[in-house]
A = this chain, B = another copy of it.
Amino acid sequence: MVPLRKNRAEPPPRECALSNCINFLSKTWAASVVWYLGETPRRFNELKYDLEGISAKMLAVRLKELQEAGIVLRHERPTSPPTVEYELTALGCELLLTLRQFVNIGHKLKAEGHAL
| Bound CA–CA A116/B20 (angstroms) | 7
Task: Enumerate chain B residues within 8 angstroms of A101, measured Cβ to Cβ.
Answer: 98, 101
Best-buried of A19, A38, A99, A109 by chain B (most CB within 10 Å): A109
Is A24 part of the contact surface with B, judged by Cβ < 8 Å? yes
A55 interfacial by beta-carbon distance below 8 Å: no
Kindly state the separation between the CA atoms of A81 and B16 in the bound complex, as whole angstroms.
Answer: 33
- A105: chain B residues at CB < 8 Å are 20-21, 91, 94-95, 98
| CB under 8 Å from chain B, chain A span 14-37 | 14, 16-28, 31-32, 35-36
Residue of B nearest to A16 (CB): B103
Distance between A19 CB and nearest chain B CB, rounded to angstroms: 6
A21/B116 contact (C-beta < 8 A), A8-B38, A71-B109 known: yes
Enumerate chain A interface residues (CB-CB to B < 8 A).
Answer: 1-2, 4-8, 12, 14, 16-28, 31-32, 35-36, 38, 40, 42-43, 45-46, 49-50, 52, 68-71, 81, 83, 91, 94-95, 98-99, 101-103, 105-109, 112-116
